Every structure is written in C-alpha cells, then in structure tokens.
Structure 1
Amino acid sequence: MSLLKLASLTCIALALGACQSMSEPKPLAFTPDASEQVKAGCNGEDCPLVNIETVHFASDPQLDALIEQRLLKMTVNSPDDKLAPTLSAYREQFLRAADARNSMYLQAKVREQHDDLVIIELISYLDTGGAHGMPGRGFINWSRKDHKELTLQDMLLPGQEKAFWGAAKVAHNSWLINSRLGNDPQFVKTWPFQQTPNVALLKDAVVLKYDVYSIAPYSEGNVELVIPYSRLNGIVKPEWIPGRG
C-alpha cells in the first residue's frame, strides 16, 4: 500500500471518528450511592429498614437535586403524608415511626444515556408487613443541552398527543397478544388500556411503564409497553429520535 493511500485512509478514519464523537457525546459521569439502615436498637429479621440506592451527578447539580426530589415524592402514599426535605430526613422519619416488618426501598438508576439524553429510572417498594409490598415506578428524561426534564409535551410535535396515545394503544394490543392475556375477554374488559405518566425516550424505542393495578393485576408486575420509533414519525419531535437530532 502506498504512503499516499495509507495517509488517505488515516484521514478518513480520523474524520469518521470525529463525526462519531460529535454525534455521540461522552456519557455524563455519575457516582453510585447506596445505604441501608435499620431501626436503632432493633435486632433480627423483622427490623424496620430503609434501603436507598441512588446516583449523584456532580457536574449537573440540577439533575442531582431533581432525582432526590422525585424519589421523595415516591414516599408519599396518602394525603396525610408530608414530603420530607431530604432523603436522610425521610429515612429518620420512617424508622422512627415504623413497626416490625416495615421497610422502604428507593432506587434511582441510569437506565440509558444516548444523544443529548440521560434516562433515569426511579423505583420504590413499600412493605408494610402484608402479603406483598407496593412498588412504584417513574422516569426522568433529562436533556443535557436544555438542563431540564422533558415533559410529554416537550417530546411531541404540536397537536400529536392523541396520535401518541393511539400508538401506545397499538403497543398495548401487542402486549395482550404476546402475553396471551388478550385471549380472555373478561381480562380485556376488567383491565382496559390507560395512559401513564411514565414515558422514557430510550435509544431503540419509547417505553411506557405502568404501576401495578393500572392495566393488569398485581401478579403481572409493572408492565412495560414498547413503541418503536418507526411508528412515531411525525409524532415525536425529530430532535428526540436517536440519530436525527
């Protein structure tokens, strides 16, 4: 191979690398933070406990604060509950009042990072000693460029919300068919399709996450519906479709 040809290939490779680095920003660095604490003076398997697993973004304090605020909102389970100012304050408050076999699990994890977005999945699980605990789910779609959480209205082109939920209904029908639950007319009648606030702009598809008892019984867990981006052309803003921004 001639030196001229080798130099040309090197230039092409460098150019492609530069394009890739421009289109795929470096992931935002974060630090995991996990802790578990039981009620003071308690020993044994039935001791109340609080388990918190979260992530910290030192370079983006706005995102860091939002994650804590959203986790705190997941601790509110009745109209009488007051929002604690911090996760540490909530932990102390919960353990002080908790009975045996009571526990709370809170988790924030990075589900994905792609293009301009950081997708955080939020998870909670409250166990009050009954037959089973109550799980909660949520997402944060964080725009690094705009330094804010995206709402559904931010994601969609104007006037396309009805079309979006129409695509979600198609995904729901696919889930019914694949899970064979659609073969039961009583199930379809009892658990009709609903909208959800939990929407995530993942790299390969838009994902909807449902709370238990919303579109299925507890035994089905937190159902996920998947909508391919190919079904969302003209619905989701092009800037939020991976590879088109």
Structure 2
Amino acid sequence: MNLTACEKRETAGASPLASQMEAMEWRAPDCEPAEDCTSVTVSREVFTDRPALNEAVRLQLLEQLQGNGESPVVADTSLAQVAQAFIDDAAKVADISSARWQMAGDAKKLSQRDNLLTVEISSYVYSGGAHGMPVTRWLNWDLSQNKRVALEDVIKSGAEKKFWSLAQAAHQQWLDTQNAREDFRENWPFARSEDFRFTDKGLLLRYGVYTLGPYSMGEVELLIPEEQLGEVVREHF
C-alpha cells in the first residue's frame, strides 16, 4: 500500500480540506505474466480529520465492488477481504474460463462549492462475459455539518413534482440530441435518479448503464439548468 501526500486547494470561503491518496493492489498468487492475472486495484482519497466522510466513502466503495449494490454491505468488511474473495472466486473457474478477472475502485474529490464537497466514486468489475460493469456514484458531503447530503435534502418542500418535471424535460432534450427514434423512447423511458451534483451550469443527475439506454451509450447525465433551479432547490444550495 502506497501513500502519496496530496494537499488540495479549496474554493474561496470553504473550510480547509487536506487529504492524501491511498493506493492498494492485490493480484492472484503464483501467476505469471502479471498482465494475465486476476487483479484488484483501489485508489481513494483519504481526508485529514474527517473520519465520518472517509467511512462514508469506504462504504460506498464496498457497495459498488460487492455486486454493484445488489448485496448488503457489511460495515466491518475490509477492502482487502473483498479483493481476496474476488481473487478466490476467479481461481474457482480458472479451469473453465480463460477470462482475466479485474476489479477496480477509485474515489476522489470532484468538486467543492463552499462547504458542499462532491466525491466521485467509480468502480469496474469484470468476471467474464462480453464486458465488465462500470459504476460511478457521486457522494455529496456537507463539511460544516459533517454529514451526507441526499437529493431530498436539496429539493424544496412541496417542489418534488416540479423538480421531476424539469428532470423529465431534460431527458426529452437529451433524447432529441441523440436523435432517438420512437421505439427507443418507448423502450428506454425516463427514470428518477438519486445521484446528483451541482456544477456552474446547474444540477446534474447521473444514470448508470442500462438505465436510460443500452450499455453502448454508457452512463448518462441529465442537466437541469441553473436558471430553473430557483423554484425547486433550497436557497442554501
């Protein structure tokens, strides 16, 4: 495990936030050449004097690396245990599959707007088949209150219907930019997402593969423009 100091510059008026990068790697034993071996790599940003934030990031990584959220996360499970279980599972099918299993996780600061920090947590798991599964989540954290910020914390009380109406309009605009045919629109209808972050252009909603389109389209982002947010987003944000 290698540690590299990485001091972060913050936006004006924001709480000071220092961090370091932590890199970990595991490979199947007695396997050569290395490029043909099952591997697990994890890189995460560890924030100084922010244990609750670091734990939230760790749990999100665990969730994504263990079945992409389909399996319950056990809080006392370590990343090393997840990596070893993955390597062991790959060894069990080595005689019937030549596919090189890969698992990767990455967590790092994406942006900070005043005291609202957004950490991007990405994962990729390949265990045979046509392709691996990429997953990206945004973890929003209030540095002043030291807690996670959910989408329901951001939307004004009573404005939920209006918010999702704006999101659905953004989806229609995205479909238009894709020149989507009628059958595509019917097969891939609008869905809600709890995964969001703020940018200078507005509020982004993020959707995983297979949610708004086929795997080949990747993960999709819908933008609710800044000028539309005044009606639906709490003034604090």
TM-score between the two structures when normalised by the length of structure 1:
0.82
SS at match of 1:238: coil
When Rg is computed on C-alpha atoms for both structures, the one with the higher figure is 1
> What CA distance in whole angstroms lies between the structure 2 residues aligned with 1:22 and 1:152?
23
Aligned to 2:225: 228
Q: If each structure's helix is expressed as a fraction of its own residues, which one has the higher value?
A: 1
Aligned to 1:7: none
Identical positions, percent: 32
Correspondence 1:117-156 to 2 at 5 A:
117-156=116-155
Aligned to 2:85: 93
Give the C-alpha shift of residue 137 in structure 1.
Answer: 1.9
> What CA distance in whole angstroms lies between the structure 1 residues aligned with 2:70 and 2:16?
39
The question of whether the paired residues in 2 share the 8 Å contact of 1:52 and 1:106 is answered with: yes
Aligned to 1:16: none
> What CA distance in whole angstroms lies between the structure 1 residues aligned with 2:200 and 2:61?
24
2:27 maps to which of 32, 35, 38: 38
Aligned to 1:114: 113
1:193 maps to which of 184, 190, 193: 190
2:41 maps to which of 47, 51, 74: 51
Q: What 5-or-longer segments of structure 2 have no aligned partner? A: 1-9, 92-98
Give the C-alpha shift of residue 226 in structure 1.
Answer: 1.2
State the Cα RMSD in Å. 2.1
Give the C-alpha shift of residue 93 in structure 1.
Answer: 2.0
> What CA distance in whole angstroms lies between the structure 2 residues aligned with 1:82 and 1:145?
27
> What CA distance in whole angstroms lies between the structure 2 residues aligned with 1:168 and 1:80?
29
Q: Which residue type is aligned with residue 138 of structure 2?
A: F
Give the C-alpha shift of residue 24 in structure 1.
Answer: 2.5
TM-score between the two structures when normalised by the length of structure 2:
0.85
SS at match of 1:74: helix
> What CA distance in whole angstroms lies between the structure 1 residues aligned with 2:225 and 2:130?
37
> What CA distance in whole angstroms lies between the structure 1 residues aligned with 2:193 and 2:73?
24
Q: What 5-or-longer segments of structure 1 have no aligned partner? A: 1-20, 241-245
Q: Does 1:165 align with 2:171?
A: no
SS at match of 1:227: strand
Greater shift, 103-112 or 202-211, is seen at 202-211
Q: 1:158 to 1:50 in 2, by over 3 A?
A: same
